[in-house]
Amino acid sequence: SRSLDLARSVTPDVRVVGDPAKFSPFAPVVEDVFPNCGPLAGIHAALRASPTDLNLILAVDVPFLSPALLQYLINRARNSASATVTIGQAGGGWQPLCAVYRKRFADAAEQSLRAGHNKVDKLFEVIRTQVILEEELEAAGFPAKMFRNLNTQKELAKARGKDDD
């Protein structure tokens, strides 16, 4: 719910990639064309279903992201028409599930998936990628801990400093 609200803070057209039976009560659902192939397959499916050139791809398990960060990424993507992806590099790596992709990324993703290569990070080396380094994100007010991936209520409580252990 929080991720959907976050995404809707920057666009009214929000979709979920996944199982329609599970996610259709929350938003329109896009099914993977390449099931069980990880995040790259989800990004591919979302882009193939999208009517727009710029697409914010957002994971549901990053609860500390802010609308301001999403708008920052979108603005950077809008200002770089040559970049296929606008992505942060923070917390020790790429942040592919909090990035802005141009629709044309779907072609590279599909080629990779058809070749049996499911890792999204490899594509950032061969396509035009606008990288926003951790230092720049921090200077703009977006600490790397915003990208922390949490999957359980216990992990969230611990991250907030409310761990019962």
How does pLDDT run across 13-45, given as a tens digit for each residue? 999 999 999 999 999 999 999 999 999 999 999
CA-CA distance, 100 to 153, in Å (whole number)?
28
Q: What is the mean pLDDT of each run of 10 residues along the chain (165 residues)?
A: 93 95 95 96 98 96 93 97 96 94 98 97 95 97 87 60 56
Backbone angles phi, psi at 29, to 5 degrees: -115, 140
How does pLDDT run across 1-17, given as a tens digit for each residue? 889 999 999 999 999 99
pLDDT at 5: 95
pTM of the model: 0.91
User: Could you tell me the two tokens for 135?
Assistant: 């230092």
